[in-house]
Amino acid sequence: MNLSVLKKKILIVVMDGLGDRGCKELDGLTPLQATKTPNLDWFTRNGIAGTCDTVDVGIRPGSDTSHLSILGYDPLEVYTGRGPFEAAGIGLIGKHGDVAFRCNFSTCDNDMNITDRRAGRVDKPDTTELVRSLEGMRIDGIEAIIKEGTEHRAALILRGGGLSPDVTDADSHDNGPIAWSKGRTPEAQFTADVLNKFVKETYKRLKDHPVNERRIAKGLPPANIILPRGAGSFPNIQSFPEKYDMKAACVAGVGMIKGICGVCGLDVIDLPGCCTGGYSSDFVSKAKAAMDTLKEYDFVLMNVKAPDVCGHDGDPKLKCDAIKRLDEMAGYFKNNFREDMVIVFTADHSTPCSLKDHSGDPVPITVYTPGNVRDDAVEFSESGCSHGRIGRIRGKYILPMCMDLADRAEKFGA
């Protein structure tokens, strides 16, 4: 056994929603097939390639469940709802047993009928001031912790014994918004009770709040009620750095991705304003941030959101343009490559322009490290990568595969 073998670092570049289907506007090609990507192709030609069902065959993944998979967890085992990841994304990281929700500041009339789900896209500093009046809330022995996010968004954590994530979203009904228990368990019914009392209490505290009086005077809809949805419990998972014995970080602009990584125990790196995650985000600066982070860390997950945005907008031309810029980003990685690293280019799911939403189509994956076995794949695309030796894998196997290529996997047996 050679003890002096250097353990390599691992960088996973997740191009969000990159996979697609044939587009009419592109003569039946996918945006990846229709766009020249010399740098991504270089990695594919020199590395190993395949296609990946991030959660499982035929499952349409959310960005949260697919990122859990890519981090080596099985979302079918640990995922209960997106609330905890949204909460963590705005800096509200709870503990096992807490039930978390994502929330909207909304507008309701005097009968608590919802008239605007986003309260006119209310934003900070109004929401910051409003949240202050909701602090210290206790309902039937349960602590309610709420924090504002961007625009009308907020997150809620319910903390205390006997809670369950098996509750519906608080939704409009004749007598105001109501959440129901999904299960018949006493815990689910208790949680729905607490949640309904919470919603009523937010209305009581917010309706005559000075911020809302100001908003009404200006002709804006008051943010006078909080609507929680997406209940989920914080998963009881082994932290990533412990599980894989790697110092790990994430470089991402989107709150929910930061949240997932935060819940898994990765350090979330603060990015300059150019890398916020929108379409106009500067990919090369983000790549540089990822390479800088890799100096201090063994593992970095980087997420680039732009292709997903183009897919949701149903704009194949714009997606091609995003891909061109992603290829420039890949060029930066090529030119600044560290010999002691394993790099992965993949997506968390497909977001076909024709569907304007996520699909279960497998995504391309290319892995490169000096000295790997070259295979027959030469082009980075949905079809091109299918010629490679990775074959078709599930997302949760990406990390074990990288651990082996990075000489970090332990021998099984004698």
Give the interface with Zn ion as residue ranges (CB under 5 A).
Answer: 16, 63, 308, 348
- By beta-carbon proximity to Zn ion, the closer residue of 16 and 98 is 16
Closest distance between Zn ion and the C-beta of residue 399, in Å?
Answer: 18
DSSP class of residue 98 equals -
C-beta separation of 349 from 305 below 8 A:
no
- By beta-carbon proximity to Zn ion, the closer residue of 147 and 258 is 258
- By beta-carbon proximity to Zn ion, the closer residue of 308 and 375 is 308
Closest distance between Zn ion and the C-beta of residue 265, in Å?
Answer: 21
Radius of gyration, CA atoms only, the chain? 23
DSSP string covering 74-90? -HHHH---SHHHHHHHT
- Helices 38-46 and 316-335: crossing angle, nearest 10°? 60
Q: How far is residue 141's CA from residue 162's CA, in Å, rounded to a whole number?
A: 10
> Distances in Å between the alpha carbon of 43 and those of 4, 39, 126, 372?
27, 7, 48, 11
- By beta-carbon proximity to Zn ion, the closer residue of 98 and 348 is 348
- By beta-carbon proximity to Zn ion, the closer residue of 256 and 405 is 256
Closest distance between Zn ion and the C-beta of residue 308, in Å?
Answer: 4
Q: How far is residue 222's CA from residue 197's CA, in Å, rounded to a whole number?
A: 20
Closest distance between Zn ion and the C-beta of residue 373, in Å?
Answer: 30
Residue nearest to Zn ion (CB): 63
Closest distance between Zn ion and the C-beta of residue 47, in Å?
Answer: 23
Helix (H) or strand (E) holding 153: strand 153-159
Closest distance between Zn ion and the C-beta of residue 186, in Å?
Answer: 36
Q: Within the chain, what is the greatest distance between any pair of CA atoms? A: 76
Closest CA to 116 of 205, 213, 224, 229: 224
- By beta-carbon proximity to Zn ion, the closer residue of 60 and 200 is 60
Q: Which residues contact 370 (CB under 8 A, 6 or more apart)?
A: 339
> In the block, which residue shows the tokens 């799911």?
349
What is the separation of C-alpha 72 from the centre of its chain, rounded to a whole number of angstroms? 14
- By beta-carbon proximity to Zn ion, the closer residue of 29 and 70 is 70
Closest distance between Zn ion and the C-beta of residue 62, in Å?
Answer: 7
- By beta-carbon proximity to Zn ion, the closer residue of 15 and 167 is 15
Closest distance between Zn ion and the C-beta of residue 292, in Å?
Answer: 24
Q: How far is residue 82's CA from residue 214's CA, in Å, rounded to a whole number?
A: 33
Closest distance between Zn ion and the C-beta of residue 323, in Å?
Answer: 15
Q: Which residues contact 108 (CB under 8 A, 6 or more apart)?
A: 114, 115, 176, 177, 203, 224, 225
Q: Any idea of the CA torsion for 406, 410, 413, 414, to the nearest 10 degrees?
A: 80
Count the neighbouring beta carbons within 10 Å of the beta carbon of residue 362. 24
